[in-house]
Amino acid sequence: MIKTYFYNSQANAMFHDVNLSQLDDLLSSSDSLLWIDLYECSALELNSIGSLFNFHPLALEDCLQESPRAKLDRYDNYNFFVFHGLNYCEDAEDDEISSIELDVFMGSNYIVTIHPIALDAVGKIAKKCLTETTCMTMGPEHLLYRIVDNIVDDCFPTIERLGERIDELEDNIFIKRGREITEEILSLKRSIILLRKVLIPQRRIFGNINGYYSFFVNEKNRPYYLDLVDHLDSILDTAATYRDLVNSSTETYYSIINGRTSEIITMLTIFSIIMMTLTVITGFYGMNVNLPGAGNPYFVWYLMTIMILLVSGMMLFFSRRKWI
């Protein structure tokens, strides 16, 4: 599906679903801006757009196959970006966080966005473009900022939910144990790793915004990109903190498990020693030979009294040594 949004600077008006056969006329003014949005598109549609703008075949090939990381490729007349949005689904059977690729071609007065499925971050800007011109009046860098900023903002609810789950994990490790806790730890680790894997390369694209730019940014758009970098840094710093908290919770959990195991082994050892002592006594008097006192009808009560006193003495000794 192909959607087009055109800002005519002379008329200060937005037009939609423009005729791309008149591309030269649409791009004739440097102050105007054309945005072409493709999603759920076929290779034929993508190649037709690529031929209109004379995009490099390698860039079009990257659009047709999933790229593992964000990047920026600079060409003579345009820049090619690869970004990734995050989709968080806590009930997913496999990975809770999945990435959705967004490919962007940005020229001097046009932007082409390509994504496999509808993206909320892009849809929000498209809805604004239907009714107002504010997203398009400050050039393609500002439109790109608006889209990427929405992608970054969509990460904050995910970060907040991961923080809540870590708080719950820190409480549950002292209450629950077993497979449930282990699965939650592994799930959180995978989610945090994937989040950092997606956002760190995107941070590098805008990393030099204070000095030498990775791509051209107008002076009026620089504060927006600085704010975007600040948001990315905030998310990545929080993700790093969460990673440390999960690792600390993991160490604490296994320390608790080892402590409980040691307590169980201690109790079983004490129980074995007591039973072994009683077994020696009963085994000795269970021999089929004449033993002193065997003819006394009250001897069994004497023997049981001795065994009870022996057990009591052992328990007192273990207690004073703080073994139990």
Q: What single DSSP character describes residue 21?
A: G
Total number of domains in the chain: 2
Using only C-alpha atoms, the chain has a radius of gyration, in whole angstroms, of 35
Looking at the structure, do residues 275 and 247 belong to the same domain, yes or no? no
Q: What is the structure's pLDDT at 289?
A: 60
Q: What is the structure's pLDDT at 133?
A: 83
Instruction: Write the CB contacts of 74 (distance below 8 Å, at least 6 apart in sequence).
Output: 80, 215
Q: What is the structure's pLDDT at 287?
A: 65
Looking at the structure, do residues 90 and 22 belong to the same domain, yes or no? yes
Q: Please state, for a pLDDT cut of 90, what percent of the chain lies above it.
A: 24
Q: What is the structure's pLDDT at 144?
A: 93
pTM score, whole prediction? 0.79
Looking at the structure, do residues 183 and 127 belong to the same domain, yes or no? yes
Q: What single DSSP character describes residue 73?
A: E
110 and 18 Cβ atoms separated by less than 8 Å: no
Looking at the structure, do residues 16 and 157 belong to the same domain, yes or no? yes
- The partner residues of 39 in beta bridges, in order of sequence, read 115
Residue that is written with structure tokens 């993206």 in the block = 119
Residue range 112-137, pLDDT digits in tens: 999 988 888 898 898 888 888 888 88
Residue range 58-89, pLDDT digits in tens: 999 989 888 878 888 989 889 999 999 888 88
Looking at the structure, do residues 163 and 282 belong to the same domain, yes or no? no
Residue range 174-232, pLDDT digits in tens: 877 778 888 888 989 999 998 998 898 888 888 765 555 577 788 888 888 888 989 99
Q: CA 270, CA 273: separation in Å to the nearest integer? A: 5
Q: What is the CATH number of the domain that holds 211?
A: 3.30.460.20
Looking at the structure, do residues 91 and 196 belong to the same domain, yes or no? yes
Domain around 127: 2-257
